[in-house]
Amino acid sequence: MGEIDTGRSAPLMCEVMEVLGKVGRESHGGYRITFAVPTKSEGASAARRVAREILVDWGLDLDEPVVDSAIVIISELVTNTAKHAALLCRQAEVTLALEYGCLSVAVHDRHPHRPKALLSPHPDDSGGWGLQLVRDLTAEAGGRTAVPADADGGGKTVRVELPLRAMGYWGGLAAATVGAA
């Protein structure tokens, strides 16, 4: 169990492998954090737990549909790393960012395959809905997805951007905190 400083209040206690890169408040008024989770079955639950705590610490309401969708998206993407990338990498990096009225979620692994959403599940019903669910939740929120490859071709990042404007968020901060002293 380790501590993560999310940039707002008390450190976050979590079961992640490590915190990577810059943590906390960005110079332009938003927030960003990257943490690593194992590419094992428990990675998705750890990522959900940590993401919920971080988003609450950043002032987001977990009952808002777009925030709930972000948690489901994180879970699906980290589950995919356990299913498809675990042989080539032992951890996935999860990045959360809140800036300019947008919540961004990114999951990076070192497997070179760049996935696409399937139009129907696998014939044996063993899976195949995860990326379709991610695509549908993103579209419902008015967001967008991208899957850029690493520069060396040895990995990729699945990135999802979800707009928060309808929730009253601006510039990466809850509207209630804008102008507060």
Read off the pLDDT of residues 120-165 as tens digits, 9 standing for 90 and up: 777 777 777 888 899 999 999 999 999 999 999 999 999 999 998 6
Task: Judge whether 155 lies within some domain.
Answer: yes
HSE value, Cβ hemisphere, 13 Å, CA-based, for 91: 13
List the domain range (segments joined by +) for residue 171. Answer: 19-176
3-state SS, the chain, equals CEEECCCCCCCEEECCCEEEEEEEECCCCCEEEEEEEECCCHHHHHHHHHHHHHHHHCCCCCCCHHHHHHHHHHHHHHHHHHHHCCCCCCEEEEEEEEECCEEEEEEEECCCCCCCCCCCCCCCCCCCCHHHHHHHHHHHCCCEEECCECCCCCCEEEEEEEECHHHCEECCEEHHHCCCC
The CATH number for 124's domain is 3.30.565.10
57 vs 13 pLDDT, higher one: 57
Task: Judge whether 90 lies within some domain.
Answer: yes
Provide the pLDDT confidence category of residue 94 given band limits of 50, 70 and 90.
Answer: very high
Task: Judge whether 12 lies within some domain.
Answer: no
Say if residues 70 and 138 touch (Cβ distance below 8 Å). Answer: no
Task: Judge whether 53 lies within some domain.
Answer: yes
CA–CA dist 117, 80 (Å, integer): 12
Task: Judge whether 7 lies within some domain.
Answer: no
Q: How large a percentage of the chain has pLDDT more than 90?
A: 60
State the amino acid at position 146 in one-letter form: A
The domain total for the chain is 1
Task: Judge whether 124 lies within some domain.
Answer: yes
Task: Judge whether 168 lies within some domain.
Answer: yes
Task: Judge whether 39 lies within some domain.
Answer: yes
Output the pLDDT for position 143: 96
